[in-house]
Structure 1
Amino acid sequence: MNPFRNELKKLDRENDEQSAYIECRDNYVAVQNMVRYLSSSSLSLFQVQIIRKDLIGMAVEGEKEGLTVREKLGVEPKEFCDDIIQSGDNNARREHLLNAVVNTAQFAAFWFTFRFLGFYANPASYTLTWGDVLTIFLYYFIGIFLATYIRNRLSICSSPVLRWLPYLTIFFVVICGYTLSMKFYTPINESFIIMINGWYVECAAVALALAVTLLANMHWRRCARKYAC
């Protein structure tokens, strides 16, 4: 058993390969938006990939019959997804939190490695600043909360304005962040939290990222066994 094997990503890759058999672009987008919407709910992310696999098969079968995804479902995609969410018997908010922690910890490890190897000739003089904290927070807020959760939640809306709202918000936040950084980032980045041996920071960041990644992989293996039954 490979502890670094991520069963969720494995299933996601398999679904990506199967989705290539959907010939109609509209059907492909419909399935994609339904999966995104389900991912923003309290359903297990592994369960969502199982549902995605079924939806892909349904879309391919519908195309052979000359039907769209909506016609094959018999109801509006949002109504279909809401029924699945309401009938779900588990609340996977902790799982979603774990997934967010893994992504953020991996980014933090990358960020500290980039700073440590790129800017510090003397490892013993590594300065942990509030700029580091701000960078990691912005990654979570923009890269995970806005770009993933909010986008997924609005992906199935009929209004194109609502579907594009997360992207417009991200664009606005990035522009504002860049503008403010020109004035405030330098003093924030110079406000250090602690000066410490850089190897300690680097090892701690990598160890944390590795630990939460292995923990998540254990969880996905349990999910694979659960939904295989």
Structure 2
Amino acid sequence: MSRRTKLLLKENNEAENRIQNEENESILTDITVYIRSSNINSYYQETVRRDILEMIADGEKRGETAREIIGDDYKLFCDNVIAELPRQSRKEQILSSLRDVLPSADILLLIWLGFQLVSQVNSTDPTLYFTVTAGNIFCAILCIAGAFCVVHAICRNAFDTAAVSGKTVFFTVFALLLICICANVFLPFPLLRVHALTAAGATAAVFALYKILDAKLD
């Protein structure tokens, strides 16, 4: 995220310490989680968060709770506030999504590279060329898409914990892992071979691209 967004995020995190009421803290957490799923950029998300923080903090000084200040329908309140802010353009959405995907892709690359190096250490005929299979690609896409779907579902249902229970999340993650294992077993078809240095370079390039996008985007 941009410098101004990072500064506002830091200020908001520090301002949360002003909230003393546990119920208010819980409500504020749910609101923050819900805002993360909205189609506004990170800077506007933090702006909304700051305004709500100030409302709740000022209300506490008057002896009021978040429920008394905001009302019973937190989702409707957030939607009304968000509706007043500019939405992200299609280009901004694509770039923001790419920025959010890159760290996950980089971690998966590091894990894959690590496993490949370990397998070569234990191999009788070690080589610095690694094979990328159809199962590897399928698993990477599935893990990233699945993770984003789970996170999005949790954020969108921040005020309805029954909609996305811990069991649902657990079984979803378990199913994704099971499918990945099966994919690696039943889709061993080689797509390309890459040198270890090329794989390491690709990992570094993905991280660099993430840092560039993160610095430019709100």
Tell me which interval the TM-score lies in, with the shorter structure as reference length.
0.7 to 0.9
Measure how far apart 1:10 and its partner are: 4.9
1:126 partner SS: strand
C-alpha contact (below 8 Å) 1:58/1:72 kept by paired residues:
yes
Q: Is the counterpart of residue 151 in structure 1 residue 154 in structure 2?
A: yes
Q: Quick one: structure 1 residues 183 and 212, their matched pair in 2 at CA, closer, same or farther if it must change by over 3 Å?
A: closer
Q: Distance in 1 between matches of 2:119 and 2:11?
A: 40
For the pair 1:42 / 2:44, whether they are aligned, the reply is: no
| Shift in CA distance, 13/143, structure 1 to aligned 2, threshold 3 Å | farther
Q: Distance in 2 between matches of 1:215 and 1:199?
A: 24
User: In the aligned structure 1, how far is the partner of 2:177 from the partner of 2:191?
Assistant: 23
Tell me the alpha carbon deviations over residues 19-58 of structure 1, each in whole angstroms, 9 at most, x when there is no partner: 1221122111211211222221211122101211222222
1:30 aligns with 2:27: yes
Cα RMSD, aligned residues only = 2.7
CA distance in 2: counterparts of 1:203 and 1:34, whole angstroms: 40
- Alpha-carbon distance in structure 1 between the residues aligned to 2:209 and 2:30: 32
2:141 corresponds to which letter in structure 1? F
Give the paired residue count: 211
Matched, 1:197 2:189: no
Query: Could you give the per-residue CA deviations for residues 108-138 of structure 1, whole angstroms, max 9, x where no partner exists?
Result: 3433442344333445221112333233223
CA contact (8 A) 2:134 2:190 kept: yes
| Residue of structure 2 equivalent to 1:224 | none
Q: Share of identical aligned residues, percent?
A: 20
Gaps of 5+ in 2: none
Query: 1:39 touches 1:152 (CA, 8 Å); kept in 2?
Result: yes
Corresponding residue for residue 71 of structure 1 = 68
Aligned equivalent of 1:104 = 104
Query: Take 2:133 and 2:21, find their aligned partners in 1: how far apart are those partners?
Result: 50
Map 1:164-203 to 2 at 5 A. 164-165=164-165, 167-180=166-179, 183-188=182-187, 190-203=188-201
SS at match of 2:193: strand
Q: Return the alpha-carbon distance in structure 2 between the equivalents of residues 49 and 136 of structure 1.
A: 31
Distance 1:181-1:81 versus aligned 2 partners, 3 A rule? closer
Cα offset for 1:179?
4.2
Letter in 1 for 2:207: A
Cα distance in 2 between the residues matched to 1:136 and 1:75? 41
Matches within 5 A, 1:115-134: 115-121=115-121, 122=126, 124-134=128-138
1:155-177 CA distance string (max 9 Å, x none) = 023xx411x34x43331122334
Pairing 1:161–2:159 present: no
* CA–CA separation in structure 1 for the residues paired with 2:120 and 2:7: 37
- In the aligned structure 2, how far is the partner of 1:31 from the partner of 1:118? 45
Q: Are the aligned partners of 1:116 and 1:202 in contact in 2 as well (CA < 8 Å)?
A: no
Aligned residue number for residue 226 of structure 1: none
**TM superposition score normalised by structure 2:** 0.81
